[in-house]
Amino acid sequence: MSEPVRALMDSVTKTVEREAPALGFDDAFTLHHRAVYRTAYQIVRDSGLAEDVTQEVFLKLYNHRESVPGDELLRAWLLRVAINVARNTLRGRSRSNVREEEFVKGVVGDDGLSVPLDVDYERRTEIEEARKALDRIKEPMRSCLMLKQQGLSYREIATALALNEASVGSLVARGRKEFVRLYGKIGGRR
Amino acid sequence: MKNCVDEGTLQGYLDGELSPALMEEVAAHVAACAMCAGAEREAENELAIFSTALAFDNSLNVPSERLRERLDAAIGGMNAVEATPKTSRFNGFFGSLAALFTLTPQRSAAFASLALVITFAVLFVAVRPRINAPDPVREGVEIATVAPAGEKQSVVAETLPPPAVVQTNDAVVSAPVRNSRGANFVKANVKTPARNPRANTTGGSKPSMPEQKLLSGEESYLEAIASLTKAIDAGGDVMLRPSVRSEYERSLAVVDQAILTTRRNALRNPKDVDAKEFLFSAYQTKVELLNTVADQTQTATLGR
């Protein structure tokens, strides 16, 4: 077999192998893409950006699938990456798109484009108030609450946020209290 | 448990995160302590408010199919980039040198068509001095422009052996001569792009680019070709003898065919540097051919 033919065969084989990703990757996507998307959404509050973040997270998983932790902590790893990527996305946006964002906000209102219009006005207001309250909670309580909401265990939350597992319960409790306080304050419920 | 439970432990108890022993202990304490029972109720209420308030976001529709499609496309694109062999800079350089001497069917076809085109160009240059009438004024101008072309002709003729395989060297040898003709009317106005696309800033650092309509570096050739064609058209058909004109058109057809074929190859194999190299060679040949013809039409126009 001549050299060019061998090179061609190698590249084709490599492509075919890569095009059929390992089963673990597919499973990981099927099991965890919702949590990744929703966590990203909680931070970026835009469905398009949340999709971008989700894609980047799973591309990172694809590229580092040899070194990513096993099943038990995979979700924690994915959500940790999701939080980081989403924050970076927001930072990038705040630098370049502040004006556009302000313009869009001015046109479509504070609820952005994410709450569907078929949701009645009262519910939309509640959703927005809940989001505002969550956004005002300090870190790492906010992330603890977010991850708790996605069904993560304390161990997973500790892994995802690089915290001491023993402190997670306390952070969740404080975050929860803070949320209720802010939510009541924003909505004039208390 | 004599002391009251702290909020963290109580939260862990509500979330089922404590060890079985601690769970039992906290349960017993909460059952006995009114204050902790109140704290537990409050915590449960707050959790309920929290869950209800954010239920919408938590049940947000996830575009699973679209996400999967996008991801598959991205992974496909990534693999296409990775499929190009990773070699060091030196390996790559020597590899590309060595590759010049390896003949694949595609490459020999491309070399053959290039050689054919160059042959036509040489023939065309050879008949060129006979185009214009022997007007003494015009002759002076003509000689000035033809002289360097004569050099080129001799160089090319010397290095143009008959078999197609050996002609591969011809393309290499004649390459430096291509841009050496300084005293040229059209060239003064037309930007002739560098033959090597790697010298180009847009195409240089990223040889592996995704498929697109225009390859990097291609635009400059197209611009050059467009302005040369315009210059030739401005000169009009009358400036060329019919026989020369038909020769020119035949050469042009061959070059265009070569461009078409090499371009298709380059687009099909965007990672193949050779394919792109052939395309640019073909473009360069066309630019030269047009340059030659444009020279003649301009010379003829001046002499009129």
Q: List pLDDT tens digits, range B287-303.
A: 888 888 777 776 665 55
Which tens digits make up the pLDDT trace of A92-103?
776 665 545 544
Whether residues B66 and A51 touch (CB distance < 8 A) is answered with: yes
Whether residues A58 and B71 touch (CB distance < 8 A) is answered with: yes
Q: Which of A174, A125, A184 is nearest to A145 (CA)?
A: A174
Distance from CA of B70 to the nearest CA of A (A): 7
From chain B, the residues in CB contact with A3 under 8 A are 102
Rounded Cα distance between B179 and B188, Å, is 12
Whether residues B50 and A179 touch (CB distance < 8 A) is answered with: yes
pLDDT of residue A95: 61
pLDDT of residue A158: 93
Work out the angle at residue B249's Cα, subtended by the Cα atoms of residues B289 and B247, and round it to the nearest 5 degrees. Answer: 85
Written as one letter, the residue type at B148 is P
Whether residues B67 and A55 touch (CB distance < 8 A) is answered with: yes
Residues B259-263 have a mean pLDDT of: 84
pLDDT of residue A82: 94
Q: Are A67 and A89 in contact (CB under 8 A)?
A: no
Residues A72-89 have a mean pLDDT of: 90
Whether residues B63 and A148 touch (CB distance < 8 A) is answered with: no
Per-residue DSSP letter, B198:
G
Whether residues B71 and A170 touch (CB distance < 8 A) is answered with: no
| Cα atoms in the 13 Å half-sphere on the side-chain side of B268 | 8
Per-residue DSSP letter, B270:
T
Checking if the pLDDT of B103 tops 50, the result is yes
Range with lowest mean pLDDT among A131-135, B12-16, B177-181: B177-181
From chain B, the residues in CB contact with A63 under 8 A are 78
Range with lowest mean pLDDT among A47-51, B97-101, B216-220: B97-101
pLDDT of residue A66: 79
Rounded Cα distance between B48 and B51, Å, is 5
Distance from CA of A93 to the nearest CA of B (A): 21
Rounded Cα distance between A151 and B58, Å, is 10
Interface test with B, best of A16, A26, A46, A58 (most B CBs within 10 A): A58
Q: Is A65 helix (H, G, I), strand (E, B) or coil?
A: coil
Q: Are A34 and B64 in contact (CB under 8 A)?
A: yes
Q: Which residues, other chains included, contact B85 with Cβ-Cβ below 8 Å and sequence gap of 6+?
A: A7, A10, A11
From chain B, the residues in CB contact with A170 under 8 A are 6-8, 11
pLDDT band of residue B1 (cuts 50, 70, 90) is low
Range with lowest mean pLDDT among A23-27, A171-175, B186-190: B186-190
Contacts 24+ apart (CB under 8 A), B214-221: B215/B263, B215/B266, B215/B267, B215/B270, B215/B276, B215/B279, B217/B193, B217/B280, B218/B279, B218/B280, B218/B283, B220/B191, B220/B193, B221/B193, B221/B280, B221/B283, B221/B284, B221/B286, B221/B287
Checking if the pLDDT of B23 tops 70, the result is yes
Q: What ipTM did this prediction achieve?
A: 0.74
Whether residues A55 and B70 touch (CB distance < 8 A) is answered with: yes
Distance from CA of A98 to the nearest CA of B (A): 24
From chain A, the residues in CB contact with B71 under 8 A are 29, 55, 58-59
Percentage of the residues of chain B whose pLDDT score is greater than 90: 14
Q: Could you tell me if B16 lies within 8 Å of chain A, comparing CB atoms?
A: no
Among the partner-chain residues B57, B64, B76, the one whose CB lies closest to the CB of A41 is B57
Percentage of the residues of chain A whose pLDDT score is greater than 90: 35
pLDDT of residue B150: 42
From chain A, the residues in CB contact with B84 under 8 A are 11
Rg (CA), chain A: 21
Per-residue DSSP letter, B159:
T
| pTM of the shown model | 0.49
Residue that is written with structure tokens 């036509």 in the block: B120
Between B95 and B218, whose confidence is greater? B218
Interface test with A, best of B9, B19, B60 (most A CBs within 10 A): B60
Q: Could you tell me if B166 lies within 8 Å of chain A, comparing CB atoms?
A: no
Written as one letter, the residue type at B136 is P
Written as one letter, the residue type at B60 is L
Burial of A179 by CB count in 10 Å (0-12 exposed, 13-18 middle, 19+ buried)?
A: buried
Q: Are A181 and A102 in contact (CB under 8 A)?
A: no
Distance from CA of A84 to the nearest CA of B (A): 19
Q: Are B266 and B276 in contact (CB under 8 A)?
A: yes
Q: Which residues, other chains included, contact A55 with Cβ-Cβ below 8 Å and sequence gap of 6+?
A: B67, B70, B71, B74
Whether residues B8 and A173 touch (CB distance < 8 A) is answered with: yes
Cβ count near A45 (within 10 Å): 19
Which tens digits make up the pLDDT trace of B262-290?
888 888 877 777 777 888 888 888 888 88
- CA B218 to the chain's CA centroid: 8
Checking if the pLDDT of A1 tops 80, the result is no
Choose the most confident range, by mean pLDDT, from A49-53, B176-180, B211-215, B237-241. Answer: A49-53
- Structural tokens at position B8: 């963290």
Whether residues A172 and B15 touch (CB distance < 8 A) is answered with: yes
Q: Are B39 and B7 in contact (CB under 8 A)?
A: yes
- Structural tokens at position A59: 């591309």
Q: B163 phi and psi, to 5 degrees?
A: -70, 145
